[in-house]
Amino acid sequence: MTDSTDARHRHLRRFMAPLVVLALVLGACGGDDPGTKDEGEEDKAAASTEEYCANSLAIETVAEPDIDFDALSPEQQAEEAKKFATGTLRPLADKLIASAPEELEDDAAVADEALTELEQTGDFEAVFGNPETVEAFNNLHDYDLENCDWERVDVVASEYKFDGVPGTIPAGVTSFEFDNIGTEQHEMVILRKKDGETMTFDQILAIEDEAEAETHVDFVGATFGEPNDAEDLYAIADVKPGDYVMVCFVPVGSTPEAVQAAEDADREIEGAPHFQQGMKAEFKVTA
């Protein structure tokens, strides 16, 4: 099993995590000092937090845009990105208007500008490469981790392994936090073996025909990170019981410098995928 996504597609994965929380901005607004809350107000606040977290999860798990980088020109790619921002993110954002907490107001203002720029330009890298935008998204995600009842798994990537992946994880919403401390680019692709599947993950990953391999597994989530990335990188999924594997398909030798040189020469890194060097981790999700 190989990953046919080129460097540009892998770069898009890096921006999906902050992109899908953009809709938070439409529900953030200021208000008066609430003062001391009585029991009824506390119950209302708890219900509001639960609603907010459900809406946030819906946005976090939205499918990434289906943009064919090989077939489309840069201008066409930008148009598809604009459609995704207005057609997918905006409707989801409407559901958060009544539930977004006012604590996010300042960071939401920054995110609002980023969403508007994406709608106008369709340029993922320019929009989400802004350090101020990165910081705002980090703050939004930190709020979710602190206030939503989600499991957290901290995954550390290096050459060529994942550390921190437990053997078992309870079913439910889980945020797989991703930190790349290596010298090469790494990605975290999470796959679930289809119900009733008898092949091992090693056998599935050995299948050369990607379409055939994908009939044996379900895609769960993914993110991508440069070495020592300052951005919160993560993949959130509502995992159900079953057998899972975490895999890195990035080619060996994918340092930022080597990748840039390959892109400048209009070629791809030709190394074997990292998982063939041992960068994979299997785990079970239990009820």
Mean pLDDT of 126-151: 89
d(CA 139, CA 29): 16
Taking the CA atoms of residue 70, residue 75, residue 76 and residue 82 in that order, the dihedral angle to the nearest 10 degrees is: 120
Average pLDDT score over the chain: 84
Q: What is the pLDDT of residues 144-187, one digit of tens each?
A: 999 999 999 999 999 999 999 999 999 999 999 999 999 999 99
Rg (CA), the chain: 20
Alpha-carbon distances, residue 34 vs 44, 102, 154 (angstroms): 13, 11, 35
Report the range out of 66-70, 93-97, 127-131 with the highest average pLDDT: 127-131
Going by pLDDT thresholds of 50, 70 and 90, the confidence category of residue 130 is confident
Per-residue model confidence (pLDDT) at position 187: 96
Mean pLDDT of 89-112: 74
- Give the least confident one: 102-111, 131-140, 209-218: 102-111
φ/ψ of residue 245, rounded to 5: -140, 145
Is a pLDDT exceeding 80 seen at residue 103? yes
Per-residue model confidence (pLDDT) at position 29: 39
Mean pLDDT of 243-264: 96
Q: What is the pLDDT of residues 143-154, one digit of tens each?
A: 899 999 999 999
Per-residue model confidence (pLDDT) at position 56: 83
| Percent of the chain residues topping a pLDDT of 90 | 53
d(CA 278, CA 281): 8
Is a pLDDT exceeding 70 seen at residue 110? yes
Per-residue model confidence (pLDDT) at position 63: 80
Q: What is the pLDDT of residues 213-229, one digit of tens each?
A: 999 999 999 999 999 88
- CATH 2.60.40.420 intervals, the chain: 150-287
Q: What is the pLDDT of residues 235-253, one digit of tens each?
A: 999 999 999 999 999 999 9
Q: What is the pLDDT of residues 3-52, one digit of tens each?
A: 544 444 444 454 555 555 444 444 343 444 545 556 555 555 666 888 88
Q: Is 79 in a helix, a strand, or coil?
A: helix
Domain 150-287 is of which CATH architecture?
Sandwich (2.60)
Nearest to residue 232, comparing CAs of 23, 7, 9, 21?
A: 21
Render the burial of 182-214: b for 16+ CB within 10 Å, e for the rest: bebbbbbbbbbbeeebeeebeebbebeeeeebe
Going by pLDDT thresholds of 50, 70 and 90, the confidence category of residue 1 is confident
d(CA 115, CA 140): 14
**What's the pTM value of the predicted model, to 2 decimals?**
0.82
